[in-house]
Structure 1
């Protein structure tokens, strides 16, 4: 007798049960999670850590369900949530999203109060992208202040690719072969593919954005050229593009921050910008560090990172939208990280975030049914203390959800 694949509801039941038993054995987690989600969670250890942060869960009400999708209200030790679970054709969990199940802030004053709770180093902007692609900031907190942005830098790589397509230098269907020397560490799955295997540039872009695939990102940077990405910062109107010069690949980033030689980063920072280019090329040639997990505390987040202000991110979204290439919207709309805006009011939502110890950033574009384009950008960082990524993300999404509703009703 052939057993049917587990339904999303059955997998939700497993997650609830698992929340009372964590940490779970590695094999049990692998029996329930699809490989993409496992990699995005930083492996079984990362999934266990997330379960332990959330605490015990109890299902309150099933909001919507079908075989491959379930959404339910759950109560937990750390709060009330709306949880969404999606499964693949094999019944494995390919997506789990948590959203704080509380009313979003209903005024800009309430948003400011919630932002103040996130820490001292917070930048935020809520904007409307006007027909001339100008970002009109409706409300902000330090909206022009430069912050580390983590993987949100991949918006600029996507922009450089879109420009190369627009200029006829490459095509979205063009195939690019995997190279071992261009592979990076997770997040992502492309590092697991054999050298010589090919994928279209559209697939590289989708993986770079949707699951923040670092190997896909580095292949695009090498293929397009570091100078093309640095040029895109300026073309998108970044106010301080030189803070990202020379532009880091993720492999160089891991070499600098995950290297067993703790003086590596200090030697790099002592170099002139010109000499740093050669240093990065040497780092990118070396084998990847044996990094079992990320560093536990913030490391040089104000010196070795990618940097932008919320207004810069809004300009990047505006620039990406201006290309009017379907592949861009496809890549950016695959996941919303649990924002759960009402699709009847916001039929299109783009998302890219970024994080490392001490850094959490969330960036969204949403189009309304009356054809307005809105954008929000939230950046939180602390150079001395590791942030609770889940808590900051849930609190930040509450702010962002409220901001989009306020923007939609503002004129």
Structure 2
């Protein structure tokens, strides 16, 4: 039975025992989802799935659930464990921004959104919903760390192939894999950047923050046109973030100070950050950002290149995309959902949000 077939079969048997979950899913996915209880909660919210007969592949297949039809995609690591999965619903293209707003309203208690055109390295908001409202953004702050690294390369203070050794005192908690390497193991800065963005590696992120200096990342906020850089000063490492949220080193089940201890930006800020990253015109930036679209699955003929970074913790889900059109134009969409009092069901929320994001790109194009 393939990992995908197991997942479909398991959806009808939830709750699953802890040992079965850990035998099939990578620790980064289990721990990042709130442990086995979080996995079982996600399976229960989706309901039993069945594979449809209209095609698919070993890692991607159309399925049907109680709420409709979906495309189920899994990624398997070198050990054969599922370390990422997306459940993307079939959707109709919206006819107007008013329809987009109506669908956004159902996503959560606090929703902020921006859809932008990027031309000449400048971002212009085409449509927004609280687009200038500062929100917690989770791991999307790593866009600014990536920008600080690219800026250091431009200014001759770093190079993409510069080796950096793993340090035990710079290690953080998952998501990611770099925390598993022994101290002294060296990787080029480009590898730290790739893992920081593509799998949101927290240890890779903290190593880059320490290598570049917090002041360099804080400076990048202003260089990218962030409306309130001071909201992120002093700039936190992920290790410091976890120390506040979970002193015992365990995942926390409910929102903890998401409006006080986080990283903050508005959707318009994130669109400007994407514009700033484009201005560098450095292949390593695009390489890091284009490895993983989190299952958005835009039409590749209309959008041949897609950049993505998201972020989440209990009470916070954010999704941020930039796509290149077939004609060479750039479009960006930033969505932020947060609730300081209630935990958001991350996987179902993303499954509901991605059709709205695809619809926004359709309107932007």
- Normalised TM-score (structure 1): 0.84
Could you tell me how far 1:93 is from its partner in structure 2?
Answer: 3.4
Residue in structure 1 matching 2:107, options 118, 141, 154? 118
Could you tell me how far 1:97 is from its partner in structure 2?
Answer: 1.7
Residue 287 (structure 2) pairs with residue 333 (structure 1):
no
1:178-257 equivalences under 5 Å are: 178-257=166-245
Residue in structure 2 matching 1:75, options 64, 69, 73? 64
Change (3 A) 1:75 1:202: same
**Do the aligned partners of 2:309 and 2:319 also contact (CA within 8 Å) in 1?**
yes
Residue in structure 2 matching 1:362, options 316, 319, 340? 319
Could you tell me how far 1:253 is from its partner in structure 2?
Answer: 0.7
Residue 123 (structure 2) pairs with residue 130 (structure 1):
no
1:262-411 equivalences under 5 Å are: 290-293=248-251, 295-408=252-365
**Do the aligned partners of 1:144 and 1:309 also contact (CA within 8 Å) in 2?**
yes
In 2, distance between residues paired with 1:38 and 1:302? 26
* Structure 2 residue matching 1:350: 3-state secondary structure: strand
Structure 2: state its 5+ residue gaps.
none
1:196-243 deviation per Cα after TM superposition (whole angstroms, max 9, x unaligned): 111111111111111111111111101100000000000001011001
* Structure 1 residue matching 2:74: 3-state secondary structure: strand
- Normalised TM-score (structure 2): 0.94
Residue 143 (structure 2) pairs with residue 143 (structure 1):
no
1:146-195 deviation per Cα after TM superposition (whole angstroms, max 9, x unaligned): 11111100000000011111111111111111111111111111111111
Give the root-mean-square deviation of aligned CA atoms: 1.9
Change (3 A) 1:138 1:232: same
In 1, distance between residues paired with 2:363 and 2:174? 36
Count of residues paired in the alignment: 365
* Structure 1 residue matching 2:55: 3-state secondary structure: strand
In 2, distance between residues paired with 1:351 and 1:94? 17
* Structure 1 residue matching 2:268: 3-state secondary structure: helix
1:37-48 equivalences under 5 Å are: 37-38=29-30, 40-41=32-33, 44-48=36-40
* Structure 1 residue matching 2:52: 3-state secondary structure: strand
**Do the aligned partners of 1:42 and 1:187 also contact (CA within 8 Å) in 2?**
no
Change (3 A) 1:137 1:182: same
Larger Rg: 1
In 2, distance between residues paired with 1:303 and 1:31? 37
**Do the aligned partners of 1:297 and 1:385 also contact (CA within 8 Å) in 2?**
yes
In 1, distance between residues paired with 2:135 and 2:219? 20
1:19-76 deviation per Cα after TM superposition (whole angstroms, max 9, x unaligned): 12233344433443456555654554543343233221111234332xxx44222112
* Structure 2 residue matching 1:64: 3-state secondary structure: coil
Could you tell me how far 1:379 is from its partner in structure 2?
Answer: 0.8
**Do the aligned partners of 2:42 and 2:345 also contact (CA within 8 Å) in 1?**
no
